[in-house]
Structure 1
Amino acid sequence: MRAFQVLSAGQAAALTNCPTPEPGAGEIRVKIEACGLNFADLLLEQGKYQDTPQAPFVLGMEVAGVVDALGPGVAGPVAGTRVAVFGGQGGLAEYGCFPADRAVPLPDAMSAEDAAAFQIAYGTSHLALDHRARMQPGETLLVLGAAGGVGLTAVEIGKLMGATVIACARGQDKLEIARQAGADHLIDAKTEDIRDRVKALGGADVVYDPVGGEQWQAAFRACNPEARLLPIGFASGDVPQIPANHLLVKNLSVLGVYWGGYLKFRPEAVTGSLRTLLGWYQDGRLKPHVSHILPLERAREGLELLRSRKSTGKVVITP
């Protein structure tokens, strides 16, 4: 089969031919129809992600496809079932073997492309806003990187949860996508002062930040008392340092969010969240935004779209 593999630590991934894997105990094999790209794939390739496996390994954290074979001791989902799986690796290939207990059966109406774009982005935002921040209707949510893979889902989910949503992104084209997703107010990070604009709108009760750097600092200074700040990632490359004395004075809370970590210590939080999200999808309340769908041989191009921030929503690869 073809696979987009990191062959040795720190080496750029390349399209290779390798044996089709056989499922082990507790695993299913999936004929992969679509794989969603994530910023974490860039970090995995560089060996900088917190869960980087030992090389060689195949990039691609989340997939959708059809169950093709079952490993020893696995009763289901049975062969032929359409599923989405978060595997953490192995998705940029024609076949992949993944833990059976992570497979989520898909609604008939859900395309493979939507399913591959769904779990991490929507799961992260829902878990962050609902489980971690306990966001309430009527609160003001500031979303940084609001047109990106996770940011856009935070706009959608924040609006569904009854928040007033302030979307911050770079450029009017990206802000228009955030507006279509439900944002109430728009801030252009290229031309406007984030702190001044947010404070003029009444301040932020919850900050959702996949960017870090200067935007984090501006948002931090625009928080209302008892605001909750959610560091989701650091697409800017700058991990902010948080002044504890400012947390104390304004009674602020910083709540780290790593969606994949919950699969290890509290998987029921993830499965419950996904049930809610799939219900919203079936009701037509969520509409995944996929800006690019590319074949496997263009996986490098897809990663570069993420690196250069030229994509909006998700980039999906179809083996």
Structure 2
Amino acid sequence: MTVTNLPPLVTVFGGTGFVGRHVVRALAKRGYRIRVAVRRPDLGGFLLPAGYIGQITLTQANLRYRQSVFKAIEGSSYVVNCVGIMFESGRNTFDAVQDLGVRSIAEATRAAGARLVHISAIGADANSDSAYARSKGRAEATIQSILPDSVILRPSIVFGPEDSFFNKFASMARLAPALPLVGGGETRFQPVYVEDLAEAVARSVDGTIEMGRTYELGGPEVLTFKECLETMLRVINRDNKLVSLPFGIASLLGSIASLIPFLTPPITSDQVKLLKKDNVVSEDAVREGRTLQGMGIRPTLLASILPSYLVHYRPQGQYTGTGRAA
């Protein structure tokens, strides 16, 4: 017996990553069939219970190999790209993953007659001093030239259980008496909850928002780097000192750390360049409704979520009272 009228197939690149796993769950709840395209499918089994039997499948794909990208997208109605790297490692360079890799996705999506949702970042700029931001900017230009009806989502820093920002600094706070405020900690962020970002992706796939636009996604509050760390410290009930670290010194330390084999640097010189500019939703995006609110999504407050996943960084873990308002 031939099965007909199957739900649409969505291929999600990077579906096992921090953002990707939440995107997969949001799409699964809506009933889509999901093909998760990752370099190591053997490590993605934890995603399967997010859907019914057979709803979520895993396939091998590497953005550095075009043929694997085209194969992963075959038969898809929609494609979501969640792949992104914050620092380069070996052959996984910004250009290879976030520029040329995105070109392969766009061309394969066009060949399949599918529609694309791409997660970029606020600050993406082909003319930026930062190699990360340049690759993101070039990727956006590539997508717009190949698939002009695509949806591009630009989040500010994303927070949630597996994030690499608050978890990193909370982990540092357990070991170091002081935390660095790069550039004095004045850079402004608009932290966005990963579930809100995943919902934005799902609505893009649903087609309930206008296609062919670039949306900027931020939470309900703008906080400086210093205020983000102060909020985190209140949640984990620690009183580490916050020490200003000039951009020049931070860049030098990042360059030195990058030279040490097998070490994941706490910050790179390229990330220091990113911190020289605010990471918030633009006035144009607000005015034109290219935001979470414009999509009909109510952004989630940072303080309402942080305690749910940072509790184990408290001195006695979950058994430690905060002692202060979080």
- Normalised-by-shorter TM-score class: 0.3 to 0.5
Structure (1/2) with the larger strand percentage: 1
Query: TM-score under structure 1 normalisation?
Result: 0.36
Structure (1/2) with the larger helix percentage: 2
